[in-house]
Structure 1
Amino acid sequence: MLQPPAAIDRWVLSRLLRTVAACHRGFQEYNLQAVTSAIHRFWLHDLCDVYLECVKPVLRDGEGSLREMAQQVLYVSSERALCLLSPFMPYLTEELWQRLPSPHQQRQPSICVAQYPSLSELPDWNYPQEELDFLLVQEVIRVVRAVRADYQLTKARPELYISCHEDAAGRLGSFLGPLQTLSRSGSVRLLTPGERAPLGCAVAIVNQHCQAHLLLEGLIDLQKELEKLSVRQQRIGAQLSTAISRTQIPGYEEKVPERIRQENAKKVYSLQTELEQVRQAIQSLEQLPDKSR
């Protein structure tokens, strides 16, 4: 197999290679829990939750070469993952093995006689940059899903705008398709430096260098959401005041253990970030016309 052109294909193959290495190491150390945990993590979180969902649009509407490559990657990932699982669930994996189509592959008649995956028989599918970049993609997806839950956007697919540092933009640029699919967004656009998101966006702070803006115009009850945000702002403000007051007691630096001081500092930073996010959301929604009037 040639090097896949899509970053998400390289990511899942790199995750497969890392899983094979973890299984090999676990067997050598007689640590079966480490083996089963690695297999479970790949099947559930890497292959099914992420890759399979990401390639559904490609398999349905993608160009011929991209669709064929996605099919090959999906086959290889599933076939090798079944072999990893076979010693623990032989009957189930044999049933799935026999049902697995392989139009361009020659394989053993039974998974029982198939070679167990090893690093020596797999190509060099080590793509650490894609794995690192996708961690940021997953952070964006997490905060966007949180915003969707806050505004109860179960079926709507709002437009997503992302403003971030140039380095972060480069890391996200290769995964815009998966980002759109997994965040259930209508479209995804990276804003250029100095460019502002449209009015009416909810703001989600991913980290100090990256923010996600979800366009809510026409999707929510404006007055109702402003009231909810106002209550939330007051609640977070009160929590922040309490957290800050704990750090201002006499002799705080000398009397309070460092571990507790670090926890308090993280709590204050988290509340400040959340409060700023709510303030930006209120400011953005207040600039929209209230069509219910």
Structure 2
Amino acid sequence: MLNLDDDSVESFGGAEPALADRWVLSRLTRTIGLVNEGFESYRFAEVTRTIYDFLWRDYCDWYIELAKPRLLHGSQQEKAHVQAVLVQTLEQALRLMHPIMPYITEQLWQQLPGAEDRENSIMVSIWPEAVDGIDETAEEQMTLLQDVVTGVRTIRSELNVPPGKKVELVVSAANEETANLLRQLQGDLSVLTAAEQVKIGVAMDQPASSGSGVVGDIEIYVPLAGLIDVDAERQRLAKEIKKFQGLLRSLDGKLGNEGFLKKAPPQVVEKERQRREEYADTLQKLEASLKML
């Protein structure tokens, strides 16, 4: 709310809606429909989860992050538009949540800009209804963006690239159609991956010493020069690999011991088997990270 100019928020209009705007409004419409279906069939746990997923994942994790550049650096029209989307989306979400969390939603609702133009209480406000507002194209494009961003974040995490460190991003599509779509999303990709440069093309070669990932038919590369000490990272990964190889040998010995399997309670044996799966998965990821270097 600190990014709002005053206590009023203009309605949508003026600026051309960005993909993120179309997507979050589509997701809101879809959420309203699911919540109403849940209430009608008394599936209150599903209602709670649906609202939580929309507010926490869609609205906070993704939309607010994509809104920040326009709030800070956009034109006056762009800023007014994104403010309207932020406030009106949150206002409807609070109405959906009110039966589950009555007191806090009332308090937040009263603090939203434009309160003087609404009812005196959220309790008597009009209940949201899902109108024809689902934008399948926006949701499909946003899913692609989210998948690529998640892939980049995974590479950064697995190779210990500091979160705030700017990276170069190379995105190789399988065809020109996908490449053109990714070029339209280039600005959002830069924002969400902390990339100072994004190169997008078709069948691009993998840069030397780069982390890599695959999202469908899209290959993602993050050149590591200047980001991390490659030699030190190789040594760290080799040390971790050796550690987990030892842990796996120890567990394999225990799980291969007939005496342990007969004497130990079933839940203990099952827990050890789960640990082995976790260790094997971690080892596989460590070995894959080492190969990237």
Q: TM-score range by the shorter chain?
A: 0.7 to 0.9
Q: How does 1:100-111 map to 2 (within 5 A)?
A: 100-102=112-114, 106-111=117-122
Cα deviation 1:19-64 (Å, max 9, x = unaligned):
0000111122122122111111111111011101111111111122
134, 159, 165: which one aligns with 1:151 = 159
Aligned residues: 246
Q: Which runs of 5+ in 2 are unaligned?
A: 1-11, 249-282
Aligned to 2:142, the other structure's residue is in SS state helix
Say whether 1:95 aligns with 2:107: yes
Q: Which runs of 5+ in 1 are unaligned?
A: 240-270, 283-293
Contact 2:159–2:289 under 8 Å retained in 1:
no
Aligned to 2:117, the other structure's residue is in SS state coil
Contact 1:21–1:119 under 8 Å retained in 2:
yes
Aligned to 2:202, the other structure's residue is in SS state coil
Q: How does 1:1-293 map to 2 (within 5 A)?
A: 1=12, 4-102=16-114, 106-120=117-131, 124-154=132-162, 155-166=164-175, 167-190=177-200, 192-196=201-205, 198-207=207-216, 209-227=217-235, 279=291, 281-282=292-293
Q: CA deviation at 1:173?
A: 3.5
Structure 1: how far apart are the matches of 2:67 and 2:221? 25
TM-score by length of 1: 0.72
Aligned to 1:160, the other structure's residue is in SS state strand
Structure 1: how far apart are the matches of 2:117 and 2:42? 32
TM-score by length of 2: 0.72
Contact 1:180–1:188 under 8 Å retained in 2:
yes
Contact 1:203–1:213 under 8 Å retained in 2:
yes
Aligned to 1:137, the other structure's residue is in SS state helix
Cα deviation 1:50-102 (Å, max 9, x = unaligned):
10111111111112222221111111111110110111111101110111113
Structure 1: how far apart are the matches of 2:241 and 2:205? 23
Over the residues paired in the alignment, what is the CA RMSD in angstroms?
Answer: 3.3
Cα deviation 1:185-213 (Å, max 9, x = unaligned):
223331x2244454443222223x11111
